[in-house]
């Protein structure tokens, strides 16, 4: 999560959707902590012009609903809240690949225990099928965001957000979403349907379609 009192925005960090790249781009505007805020921001914080609320008070992957419970209602309503979602089939490939690669990931050994992506996916949908929607909607199904972009169009959408908020940044080292042919290397009709059933809410809410094999 990134909050900027100067530019009045809140970025909600959905995992494996280029959040780290976005965070790095936005940190120049962020109030990570009082110590890490710009000098002009510190003056506003000390004089009460800005609320004493900082990004580092929240875990990276805090949901909009959790943030809403903590922030003053006037701040939550008036700040521009945005985040990104990703094609659910591509999202699972990205998560699996990351778990295998990063030895420090808390599920690294779990990922290594699976013989292949199919075994991983069977475990995921049976035991831990977390929806991307949950980052941005409350329990009653109300969207708490001002803007939910798609990873597949992230450069264009971040440019539009930057223009709206008056931000100047550069997204670096951003890996593009897998092309359809590469997704086919991981999926067959069985695994396509596993994702389709487990993540149907995300698929419908954000307008995604299954890959064609």
- Kindly indicate the confidence band of residue 174, based on its pLDDT and cuts at 50, 70 and 90: low
* Secondary structure of residue 63 in the 3-state scheme: coil
CA dist., res. 52 & res. 41, Å (int): 11
Percentage of the chain exceeding pLDDT 90: 79
pLDDT digits (tens, 9 = 90+) for 80-130: 999 999 999 999 999 999 899 888 888 899 999 999 999 999 999 999 999
Q: Give me the number of domains the chain comprises.
A: 1
Q: What is the mean pLDDT of residues 137-159?
A: 95
Going from the C-alpha of 26 to that of each of 3, 6, 42, 52, 74, the distances in angstroms are 9, 12, 18, 19, 22
| 31 within some domain | yes
| 211 within some domain | no
Give residue for tokens 């954000």.
206
Query: Domain range holding 74?
Result: 2-206
Q: What is the mean pLDDT of residues 13-22?
A: 89
What is the residue-averaged pLDDT of the chain? 91
Give pTM, 2 decimals.
0.91
């Amino acid at each position: 999560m990134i909050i900027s009192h100067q530019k009045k925005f809140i970025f909600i960090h959905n995992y494996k959707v280029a959040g780290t790249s976005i965070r790095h781009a936005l940190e120049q505007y962020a109030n990570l902590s009082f110590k890490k805020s710009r000098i002009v921001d510190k003056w506003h914080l000390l004089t009460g012009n800005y609320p004493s609320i900082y990004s580092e008070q929240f875990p990276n992957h805090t949901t909009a609903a959790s943030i809403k419970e903590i922030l003053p209602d006037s701040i939550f309503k008036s700040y521009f809240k945005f985040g990104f979602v990703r094609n659910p089939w591509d999202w699972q490939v990205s998560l699996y690949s990351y778990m295998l690669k990063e030895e420090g990931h808390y599920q690294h050994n779990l990922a290594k225990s699976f013989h292949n992506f199919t075994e991983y996916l069977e475990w995921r949908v049976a035991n831990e099928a977390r929806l991307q929607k949950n980052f941005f909607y409350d329990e009653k199904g109300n969207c708490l965001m001002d803007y939910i972009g798609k990873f597949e169009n992230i450069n264009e959408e971040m440019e539009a957000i930057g223009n709206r908020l008056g931000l100047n940044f550069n997204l670096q080292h951003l890996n593009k979403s897998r092309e359809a042919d590469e997704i086919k290397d991981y999926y067959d009709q069985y695994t396509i349907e596993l994702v389709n059933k487990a993540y149907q809410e995300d698929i419908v809410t954000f307008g995604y379609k299954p890959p064609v094999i």
